[in-house]
């Protein structure tokens, strides 16, 4: 548990679209499902203490396979879900307004909450920065998706973040708290929510947020919860760093006591780093 708190550490492995054949993996891994099986086996062999909650988020097509093979103390989650039932079509929506479109129906390619509950998938990621900015998922869209997922019994990682423009303008805190406030009043039980901070300004660049920068933002997010929800919510809600964790510098971000842990942007063929992160965290937990 985090130092001086009752929060259980959380590690999420976001697989993105990894699992397809790639030049980055050995040639002997001919089939995508064989590569997924190899990764799951590596995770299953990892040594983790019981005080870390581990959730992996494979591509939707691999959810049944990963659920079948993954060790029982690890959980799975979906990388996104639609807002309504697949039959809830409303063609009065302006197709140009992607945010409106997502709110009205589940467009082709979306995965519905009903599908995830049928598969007994307990977690989902919502509000990811790339869906916010590339697919125009507004704060309102994300808030309604969060409410929909919670109403069907799923636990939600809600991503919030600041762009390079927002960071340079000094509006990062205002931007992120606005993203949180959009859905906060829809949450009845905050134990089903994990907040994930994405430093969008640093993603895909050679610039990494320093531990101090990340810690300061997570502190501001917790202060907002304290001022706008309840003391017990602020004390118990897990707030995590959502970024790349692929080397010892990135792992040093995880050692900050305010961190719950990380939504790891997991490169498919680097299961070792993911397991190493878990081992590092387990060590820190035992020595704090």
Instruction: Select which of 128, 137, 148, 250 is catalytic.
Output: 128
SS3 assignment, position 94: coil
Instruction: Select which of 14, 198, 250, 273 is catalytic.
Output: 198
Taking alpha carbons only, the member of 154, 155, 175, 156 closest to residue 164 is 175
- The rounded distance, in Å, linking the Cα atoms of 187 and 154 is 12
Say if residues 12 and 263 touch (Cβ distance below 8 Å): yes
- The rounded distance, in Å, linking the Cα atoms of 161 and 173 is 9
To the query of whether residue 137 is one of the catalytic residues in this protein, the response is: no
Residue 175 burial (CB count, 10 A): 18
Q: CA angle at residue 253 from 179 to 36, to 5 degrees?
A: 85
Sign, CA dihedral 187-191-192-195, equals positive
- The rounded distance, in Å, linking the Cα atoms of 107 and 135 is 12
Sign, CA dihedral 264-268-274-276, equals negative
Token pair in block for residue 11: 């590690």
- The rounded distance, in Å, linking the Cα atoms of 115 and 120 is 9
To the query of whether residue 14 is one of the catalytic residues in this protein, the response is: no
DSSP result, 183-204:
HHTT-S-GGGEEEEEE-TTTTT
- The rounded distance, in Å, linking the Cα atoms of 58 and 117 is 16
So which residues are the catalytic ones? Answer: 128, 198
């Amino acid at each position: 548990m985090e130092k001086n708190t009752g929060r259980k550490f959380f590690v999420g492995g976001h697989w993105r679209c990894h699992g397809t054949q790639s030049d980055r993996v050995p040639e002997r891994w001919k089939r995508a499902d064989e590569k997924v099986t190899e990764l799951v086996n590596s995770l299953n062999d990892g040594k983790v203490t019981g005080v870390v909650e581990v959730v992996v988020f494979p591509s939707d097509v691999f959810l049944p396979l990963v659920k079948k093979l993954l060790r029982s103390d690890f959980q799975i989650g979906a990388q996104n879900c639609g807002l309504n039932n697949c039959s809830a079509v409303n063609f009065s929506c302006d197709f140009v307004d992607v945010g409106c479109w997502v709110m009205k129906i589940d467009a082709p390619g979306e995965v519905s909450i009903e599908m995830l509950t049928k598969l007994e998938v307990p977690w989902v990621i919502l509000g990811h920065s790339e869906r916010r900015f590339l697919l125009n998922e507004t704060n309102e869209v994300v808030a309604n998706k969060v409410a929909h997922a919670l109403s069907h019994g799923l636990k939600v990682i809600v991503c919030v973040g600041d762009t390079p423009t927002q960071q340079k303008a000094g509006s990062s805190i205002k931007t992120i708290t606005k993203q949180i406030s959009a859905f906060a009043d829809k949450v009845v039980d905050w134990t089903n929510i994990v907040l994930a901070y994405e430093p969008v300004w640093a993603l895909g660049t050679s610039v990494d947020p320093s531990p101090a920068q990340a810690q300061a933002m997570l502190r501001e997010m917790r202060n907002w919860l304290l001022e706008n929800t309840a003391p017990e919510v602020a004390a118990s809600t897990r707030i995590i760093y959502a970024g790349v964790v692929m080397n010892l510098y990135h792992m040093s971000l995880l050692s900050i006591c305010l961190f719950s842990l990380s939504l790891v942007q997991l490169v498919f063929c680097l299961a070792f780093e993911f397991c190493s992160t878990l081992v590092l965290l387990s060590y820190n937990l035992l020595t704090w």
